[in-house]
Amino acid sequence: MNFKSLSLLVLIINLKLLFAQNELNFSQDLLMGKEDSKLFSNSIGLLSETAAAFEKMKIAAQKAGFKIEIVSAYRSFNRQKDIWNRKYRSNEINGFSPDENIKKIIEYSTLPGTSRHHWGTDVDIIDGSIPRQGDVLITEKFHGDGPYAALRVWMEENASQFGFLRPYSMDSERKGFKYEPWHYSYAPLAIPMLKAYLNLDLNLLLVPEDLEGREYITPLFIKKYIDQNILGISSSLKPSN
């Protein structure tokens, strides 16, 4: 085991021991993206503790020649619902069946009320020192000769020192959402928030009246979605039972 792997393992063990000793309470509205009053600021879109850790990581990255820029942080329930509905209608126009439509959406986008971005703990990032061209959150731009490949490598080597871990890894055994090299979660808060989130009665919460395709979001679908999408994350970000 190399030093990087050992350091990450120690971080994970310490985090899970901390949460076992100190159970945190989070409101349903906060976990569902319906409460943003605890955000450090609307412009940053992070909880205060996350924002402080992010700022430290940003300074360290700057010393290494990178300008970490947030593309997306907090996202409300209604914002996520708008994204879902827009994609559903677009796919419908393009001839997708309801099953194909939903399957396509959940390659990268979540049902409203299930996004990690609801929590103020997660960020999508790029290297802001490089001029943007077109869509930036594309896997190819973080690998090979892509503009953000060097930042990806730096993050993989250093982000865990500041408490940030990547939920959607390239692990072939992982199910659910596709690989996202740009997405990081602040583990000290995201792990206990996920634990609290899993205690909610999601069957009653995830199908608002104005959700496109709501009639196809069945209890069986939600169970599979929880197992494969909500829990289809790196093991380092899963709470202990």
CB-based contacts of 73, cutoff 8 Å, min separation 6: 44, 45, 46, 117, 120, 122, 123, 124
Q: Determine the Cα–Cα distance for residues 64 and 152; give it in Å rounded to an integer.
A: 13
Summarised one tens digit per residue, pLDDT across range 143-166 is 999 999 999 999 999 999 999 999
211 in Cβ contact with 84 (< 8 Å): yes
Confidence label for 78 from pLDDT (cuts 50, 70 and 90): very high
pLDDT at 1: 54
End-to-end CA distance of the chain: 26
pLDDT at 212: 96
Q: Determine the Cα–Cα distance for residues 67 and 62; give it in Å rounded to an integer.
A: 5
pLDDT at 44: 79
C-beta neighbour count of 58 within 10 angstroms: 16
Summarised one tens digit per residue, pLDDT across range 105-133 is 999 999 999 999 999 999 999 999 999 99
Mean pLDDT of 217-221: 93
Residue 43 has pLDDT above 80, yes or no: no
pLDDT at 14: 53
Domains and CATH numbers, the chain: 3-236 (3.30.1380.10)
Instruction: Give me the chain's average pLDDT, please.
Output: 90
- Give the closest residue to 65 by CA, choosing from 136, 124, 128: 128
pTM: 0.87
The residue among 226 and 4 whose pLDDT is bigger is 226
pLDDT at 207: 85
Going from the C-alpha of 235 to that of each of 12, 53, 95, 168, the distances in angstroms are 9, 21, 37, 10
Question: Do β-strands 164-165 and 183-186 pair in parallel, antiparallel, or remain unpaired?
Answer: antiparallel
